[in-house]
């Protein structure tokens, strides 16, 4: 650096390779920064995926296929109509009840099914005739 000083303007020509070296350094720094940005993004994404997987696993384990009272959710959901209609056997009902106490997902389902059942039992003869025009037509046709 010191040997080529030009006193008129105070500027010295760059030694060969300084600019390219600087450019390379800048480029490398930029690449490192980009890499860091990408890797932090990737890390964030991985965390999100991991959290999502964990959550969905937990969700599906927790509310779709829990085995409470010796019976799984899908079995409970399959047997609920039987239980509602009173055709399920005693031991099945006991197991379903034990399951429903501990599984809010199935309990909610049973509650809805019961509600539906009550509605269906309350007005099957009135509702179709008054509500659905096709049912009225059908009823008229049958008469």
Contacts to Zn ion by CB under 5 A = 73, 103, 106
Q: Which CB, 20 or 60, lies closer to Zn ion?
A: 60
Q: Which CB, 72 or 128, lies closer to Zn ion?
A: 72
Cα(92)–Cα(79) distance, integer angstroms: 8
Listed residue (115, 110, 105, 108) closest to 93, CA to CA: 110
- Cβ atoms of residues 42 and 49 within 8 Å: no
**Phi, psi (rounded to 5 degrees) for 72:** -90, 165
E strand or H helix that includes residue 68: strand 67-68
At closest approach, how far in Å is the CB of 98 from Zn ion? 11
At closest approach, how far in Å is the CB of 43 from Zn ion? 36
Q: Which CB, 40 or 74, lies closer to Zn ion?
A: 74
Q: Which CB, 73 or 83, lies closer to Zn ion?
A: 73
Parallel/antiparallel/unpaired status of strands 71-72 and 67-68? antiparallel
At closest approach, how far in Å is the CB of 138 from Zn ion? 39
Q: Which CB, 34 or 112, lies closer to Zn ion?
A: 112
Distant-in-sequence, close-in-space partners of 123: CB < 8 Å, separation ≥ 6: none
Distant-in-sequence, close-in-space partners of 65: CB < 8 Å, separation ≥ 6: 72, 73, 74
């Amino acid at each position: 650096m010191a040997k080529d000083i030009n006193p008129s303007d105070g500027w010295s020509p760059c030694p060969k390779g300084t600019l390219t070296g600087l450019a390379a350094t800048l480029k490398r720094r930029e690449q490192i920064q980009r890499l860091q940005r990408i890797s932090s993004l990737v890390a964030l994404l991985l965390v999100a995926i991991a959290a999502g997987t964990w959550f969905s696993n937990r969700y599906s384990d927790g509310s779709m296929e829990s085995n409470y009272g010796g019976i799984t959710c899908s079995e409970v959901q399959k047997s609920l109509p039987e239980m509602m209609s009173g055709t399920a056997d005693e031991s099945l009902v006991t197991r379903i009840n034990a399951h429903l106490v501990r599984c809010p997902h199935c309990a909610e389902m049973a509650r809805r099914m019961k509600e539906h059942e009550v509605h269906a039992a309350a007005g099957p003869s009135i509702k179709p005739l008054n509500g659905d025009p096709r049912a009225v037509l059908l009823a008229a046709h049958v008469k």
